[in-house]
Structure 1
């Protein structure tokens, strides 16, 4: 969710000191009033910067960190032994019936017979085109466009075009569901990465612009800061002594002297700031000690903005705008994370044996998933397709709905668990090891969830971190939404994206997944009531009932209706 920044950091200060005829002095302007109001805002609370809600650390996945001495390690071993025995049983049956351990092999042919090369080239173009975000940020840094004015709009138009083009291409090529799922998931991943990169760097560009403008203002106020700006020399010959002629200005001068700007610089008291702001419209000129105090205020703000431009950097000097390089952008695109940071926790070396282990596990589990699909899911799908081809009405097909649902319950549950393991445990860990990415907490113990909001946090941590930073918090900051409204927006966006994937797979818009996902909200509210709050076992039972039935229910609905 991209929006214009409403932070005080984006204030433009372009005013120069003003001098009255026959006088030499420094006059605070309306732009300075805006700056002082920014100080007033900061004095009421601790200064914070956006896009720092998510903190990446050196953590391991729950299953990866499972020690062999754990009391539950045996169940982990039992699960994989059961998977191996099931695979042997399927292979033996296929050999007996078809003379091959792969059986009729329709799933493999579906994956390999059509447009494999085109799919690969499409994915390559998908990755290369993400470089648009880097070009836009370089243009913003060079001053061709401002993020808060036009930059955010250009980025969002590009993202809409990016998603629309990939969706249209998958329709145009009429790819099977295997190709469609891969390209759409990768497209959404790259889309989230681009959004995070653009939002964070766009925000930093506004901080950077404000800091550079403050440096110019500092050079105008104090000639000794010649390094801050080349225009500082234009004021280097001024004496900064105030000469007030008439009684009105003498009265203003006495009131101004009663305001100790040095105390303001040290304490930033609210009433003192407001007092200074009220005198600006009356043409108050500052004395040398007051100019010095005001300069110290600007210096403090420059230092604060410089800290903001560093982000969480502690090991490197990859500060903005040094990070706007092809190397840094390519590094982020390859990392198994969806939130952009100036610096990530990294490991010291690559354990290639670990990479080989996860790679072998990836291909092994894919074989198991193909076997499960071929033996238990594909025959049910073919049966539902034949019912439609034979002209059965919706009422007649609905009579078969309970049997289709029951036939798909166990194989879909198996595929669900295997898909989780192959993506979040094998693929992401292998990629993290190759890229030396240290934060491996791609999921938590979601199987112990007692509510759907806990499952949403623990099941897919990279996506959760993205939604938490760029949708939930951005909705609260930019649109001043309540936490409840921001949660609703986050759930709705997630549900719409999932429904888009179902639309691309089945070529029909039904909204079944959208409805089921949004139904989690009242279930979350129910889990927080006194009826369910402390009943963790009951909550976990309801959670597993949903996980067990939802995938097969969705597929049955799309196949039958």
Structure 2
């Protein structure tokens, strides 16, 4: 008897393909027809339990064939810092050198910065207070609520920008405060507009429940009623589907379905409130349609919540709001996947790595970037003409290329690997996909998706899809709006740092759009290595070119 070939397959829940299969299975369970292709204004984002790519808890990272290069990089950084410290000791008698950057950071307003940052975070509670007023019925979201929210957001970001200018903070204080302020702005926007959307659904559901209650007290007549609308005029095809938030979104995506649905429900409401006679068939159809809408709206209000405490409006507590403020995400959901416990040793490891990377960045900046910056300052103070300063541009660019590339990588690793993972660990936040393999990007749109996943998700939901649903624009226009808004926010940060409005970064970011189109042509399509070379060329030269332009001009 031949031996059977028995193979064991291990299915891991953190596998990307398995996770995608599960996501699609859940979607099909709510949408058996499989016809839903588009996304609504508040499209679903899938949060799952997983680790970031370079995290030591990620089995894929430890088993990667490139893990040795990761080890080599950090060994090189260690010896690089030793070399810089030795050079500083020989030249200045101090391993930290002149330490001008650290002196500038702690010389003035450090306590004021920390206090202002705490006040700024506390002020996000204004968005929560507005949502409480909306739920209580004092404000209507669709009329004045969203206007008040936008006015508050404008005042908030104005204060965030104005305080560093008023206090004349050094660039280190300004970068931290403005960037954190922009994060708080995005968090408030997501919290307010998602809960505002749910408040509309909640009031709609209450109104339908009232109609259903009125319908229960109607005694149907035996003969066919002449009251409009007759059952034959109503669209009932959706009643064959399970009531769900996905079903509502699918109907919203179709203008014809949305108009017909609105017309049908308005005519049903008018018929019930008219107190005119209804026959048995009308009562039956009206009841089915109202119950379907109620159940679908109930599913909408539930969102991803697994318990009643997080279902709208039970989520409108100050604890829920401020818990969301400290979570490492800028997209609000009723509930997120959470870890079971906190590994304090791991959290301490991430915090130590955070300060270690800051030390590397300061040492690199002090040794290689600060002297170049001070040289341009001396050139301007000496009254050197612009033409002569531009003659130094190529040399300045070559001096800044490598240190800026290192600073770029360090800044990314500092924020998206150490700080966000630390916050995720101490807040039980289980979804750690703060980035994807952006280093393998072959186009700028891929880089935009993978470099910063939290902000990408925010722009996808609250800018891209909201532009399509609210402004009725096509996908290309929505993409242009998304890129432009992102570019404006980056240019805002540059203005706060250099106190100059030049538009260099805005231009370079918008220039990515034609480069995206170019990457899809027959000359670059399916040429991954060439696309990746072009991408890295932009990353390698972009930061140093920008800084040189701001310093020279």
User: Which TM bucket (shorter chain)?
Assistant: 0.7 to 0.9
Does residue 108 of structure 1 match 2:88?
no
Deviation at 1:170, TM superposition (A): 0.8
Provide the secondary structure at the position in 2 that maps to 1:286.
coil
Provide the secondary structure at the position in 2 that maps to 1:439.
coil
Q: Deviations over 1:255-274 (max 9, x none)?
A: 98894989889559x9x999
Instruction: Answer whether contact 1:49 1:308 (CA < 8 A) is retained.
Output: no
Query: 2:44: which partner in 1?
Result: 53
Distance 1:133 1:530 in 2: 48
Match of 2:53 among 33, 50, 62: 62
Distance 1:411 1:263 in 2: 65
Distance 1:520 1:549 in 2: 14
Write out aligned runs for 1:150-189 (5 A).
150-189=144-183
Gapped runs of 5+ residues in structure 2?
Answer: 1-32, 242-256
Instruction: Answer whether contact 2:231 2:282 (CA < 8 A) is retained.
Output: no
Match of 1:198 among 185, 192, 197: 192
Does residue 351 of structure 1 match 2:372?
no
- Classify 1:391/1:205 alpha carbon distance in 2 versus 1 (closer, same or farther; 3 Å): same
Q: Deviations over 1:40-99 (max 9, x none)?
A: xxx997698642332211121111124433211110011001000000001011111111
Query: 1:293: which partner in 2?
Result: 285
Q: Size of the alignment, in residue pairs?
A: 495
List structure 1 runs of 4+ shifted beyond 6 angstroms: 255-258, 260-265, 272-281
Q: Deviations over 1:441-473 (max 9, x none)?
A: 000110000000000000000000000000000
Deviation at 1:378, TM superposition (A): 0.3
Distance 2:198 2:214 in 1: 24
Query: 1:378: which partner in 2?
Result: 370
Write out aligned runs for 1:116-135 (5 A).
116-135=110-129
- Classify 1:529/1:48 alpha carbon distance in 2 versus 1 (closer, same or farther; 3 Å): closer
Distance 2:485 2:491 in 1: 10
Instruction: Answer whether contact 2:96 2:363 (CA < 8 A) is retained.
Output: yes
Larger radius of gyration: 1
Distance 1:413 1:275 in 2: 60
Deviation at 1:166, TM superposition (A): 1.4
Q: Deviations over 1:238-282 (max 9, x none)?
A: 644378xxxxxx8948x98894989889559x9x9999999989x
Gapped runs of 5+ residues in structure 1?
Answer: 1-42, 224-237, 244-249
Write out aligned runs for 1:77-476 (5 A).
77-223=71-217, 239-241=219-221, 252=226, 259=232, 285-314=277-306, 317-476=309-468
Q: Deviations over 1:182-227 (max 9, x none)?
A: 000000000000000001000000000000011111111212xxxx
Distance 2:148 2:114 in 1: 28
- Classify 1:502/1:351 alpha carbon distance in 2 versus 1 (closer, same or farther; 3 Å): same
Distance 2:403 2:335 in 1: 42
- Classify 1:366/1:298 alpha carbon distance in 2 versus 1 (closer, same or farther; 3 Å): same
Instruction: Answer whether contact 1:259 1:276 (CA < 8 A) is retained.
Output: no
Distance 1:176 1:258 in 2: 70
Deviation at 1:313, TM superposition (A): 1.8
Write out aligned runs for 1:479-494 (5 A).
479-494=471-486
Provide the secondary structure at the position in 2 that maps to 1:56.
coil
RMSD: 2.7
Instruction: Answer whether contact 1:242 1:285 (CA < 8 A) is retained.
Output: no
Q: Deviations over 1:81-123 (max 9, x none)?
A: 1000000001011111111111111011011001001101110
Provide the secondary structure at the position in 2 that maps to 1:178.
helix
Q: Deviations over 1:308-365 (max 9, x none)?
A: 0001123564100000001110110010000000000000000111101111111111
